[in-house]
Amino acid sequence: MIEIKQQISLKSYNTFGIDVSCNYFVEINSENDFFELIKNNIYKNNQKLIIGGGSNILFTKNFDGIVVKINLKGISIKSETETEVIVKSYAGEGWHDLVLWSIANNFCGLENLSLIPGCVGASPMQNIGAYGVEIKDVFYELEALEIETGLKKKFNIKDCKFGYRESVFKNEMKNRYLISSVSFKLKKNIILNTLYGAINEELAIMQVNNPTIKDVSNAVIAIRQSKLPDPKITGNAGSFFKNPEVSKEKYLSLKTSFENIVAYPLPNGNYKLAAGWLIEKCGLKGFELDNASVHTKQALVLINKSNATGNNIYQLSTYVLQKVFNTFGVTLEREVNIF
């Protein structure tokens, strides 16, 4: 039996710790809960927001509608061969919990994505990625429930239209589906991805010569903890901005003025610029505006320094966008969903 609550604070349901409220709030612990919910007039007649861990959301005002918190739990093996295994995780599982589960079972593929905040259900929405790996590299399929009707649909990798921090669920299918479970294709044969330089540097510090998947995970965790604030202590949503893509001509033009600009060539001939480098070169590391701040160790991260409002953080992000554009002629894009 579902319980729809009224006028609930969302402060503990978003990693920025923004103290806003919603008209209605309900937690979904099973698919049957959702089927019950869609018959309810409060659900039918209000704007809807589906949340998991609240790690990619910035609330700038109270939410005038119903917030649906997904708590679907469970991790299982769907099928396996001698070399691969299909692992299914329900959407409400913590992402890092899934990573630790896969490592404990000696399944390879998720270790580079250790310690990313949020829940499993959000991972394909923005094709989360870190240290040379993205969800699309290990994705098998997902199951989703249509928000208006409850009809279940499966999406394969082609259906999801994954891009850089993008998927069909952030574009043409936005606000149409509730992702209920995600399945991943992991390897039993250990094939590590340590091409990202920082991982090898951290493994050297750890004095690990023949790393296991657990070693790689520990290295990634150490790197993230050294650069990124813990949202349980300091409100943040991780990387606030996407790394911008520019043409080769634009990159070469920038390089004449900024010899040390950090960029990566892409298969389409364009270049991806490091947004954190651009922000840092604007002198914005540690910059404060009202109660919000650019993180001192990673300029991609904006933090709630002292009871900031969502508008404080949004205004800071706007200042950063303007500063980067004025300096480099490059437009950054916010990665975080704004409400």
Q: Which residues pair with 139 in a beta bridge?
A: 184
The tokens describing 325, both together, are 């554009």
Active site residue 224: no
- Helix, strand or coil, per DSSP, at residue 90: strand
Place of tokens 């300091």: 234
pLDDT at 198: 87
The answer to whether residues 300 and 241 touch, using CB atoms and an 8 Å cutoff, is yes
**Domain at 235-338: CATH code:** 3.90.78.10
What mean pLDDT comes out for the span 14-37?
Answer: 97
Residues 93, 141, 143, 335: which is the catalytic one? 335
Higher pLDDT pick, 169 / 197: 169
Active site residue 167: no
Q: How confident is the model at residue 5 (pLDDT cuts 50, 70, 90)?
A: very high
Which residues neighbour 22 within 8 Å (Cβ) at sequence distance 6 or greater? 7, 8, 10, 49, 62, 63, 64, 65, 66, 67
Q: How confident is the model at residue 325 (pLDDT cuts 50, 70, 90)?
A: very high
- Helix, strand or coil, per DSSP, at residue 234: coil
The answer to whether residues 335 and 240 touch, using CB atoms and an 8 Å cutoff, is yes
Q: Which residues pair with 182 in a beta bridge?
A: 89, 142
How large a percentage of the chain has pLDDT more than 90?
Answer: 90
Is the predicted pLDDT of residue 101 greater than 90, yes or no?
yes
Active site residue 202: no
pTM of the shown model: 0.89
Question: Can you name the CATH fold of 75-187?
Answer: 3.30.465
pLDDT in tens, 69-96: 999 999 999 999 999 999 999 999 999 9
Q: Are strands 129-130 and 84-90 parallel, antiparallel or unpaired?
A: unpaired
pLDDT at 119: 95
CA distance 60 to 80: 45
Any idea which architecture 5-70 has in CATH? Answer: 2-Layer Sandwich (3.30)
Residues 180, 239, 293, 317: which is the catalytic one? 239
pLDDT at 165: 87
pLDDT in tens, 308-318: 999 999 999 99
Length of the chain: 339
pLDDT in tens, 143-185: 999 999 999 999 999 999 999 889 999 989 998 999 999 999 9
What mean pLDDT comes out for the span 98-120?
Answer: 96
pLDDT at 179: 97
Q: Is 150 exposed, middle or buried (0-12, 13-18, 19+ CB in 10 A)?
A: middle
What mean pLDDT comes out for the span 179-202?
Answer: 91
Which residues neighbour 174 within 8 Å (Cβ) at sequence distance 6 or greater? none
Which residues neighbour 240 within 8 Å (Cβ) at sequence distance 6 or greater? 300, 301, 302, 317, 334, 335, 336
pLDDT in tens, 40-63: 999 999 999 999 999 999 999 999
Q: How confident is the model at residue 195 (pLDDT cuts 50, 70, 90)?
A: confident
Q: How big is the CA angle at 164 (ends 125 and 57), to the nearest 5 degrees?
A: 45
Q: How far is CA 118 from the centre of its chain?
A: 7
CA distance 58 to 72: 23
Residues 165, 167, 217, 293: which is the catalytic one? 165
pLDDT at 255: 95
Supply the DSSP symbol for 304: E
pLDDT at 197: 73
Q: Are strands 63-70 and 48-51 parallel, antiparallel or unpaired?
A: parallel
CA distance 204 to 98: 26
pLDDT in tens, 265-278: 999 999 999 999 99
Place of tokens 């919000």: 292
Q: Is 3 exposed, middle or buried (0-12, 13-18, 19+ CB in 10 A)?
A: exposed
pLDDT at 1: 85
Q: How confident is the model at residue 194 (pLDDT cuts 50, 70, 90)?
A: confident
The answer to whether residues 96 and 116 touch, using CB atoms and an 8 Å cutoff, is yes
The tokens describing 263, both together, are 């960029």
Enumerate the domain spans of the chain.
Answer: 5-70, 75-187, 235-338
What mean pLDDT comes out for the span 98-119?
Answer: 96
Higher pLDDT pick, 250 / 189: 250
pLDDT at 196: 77
- Helix, strand or coil, per DSSP, at residue 39: coil
CA distance 277 to 261: 7
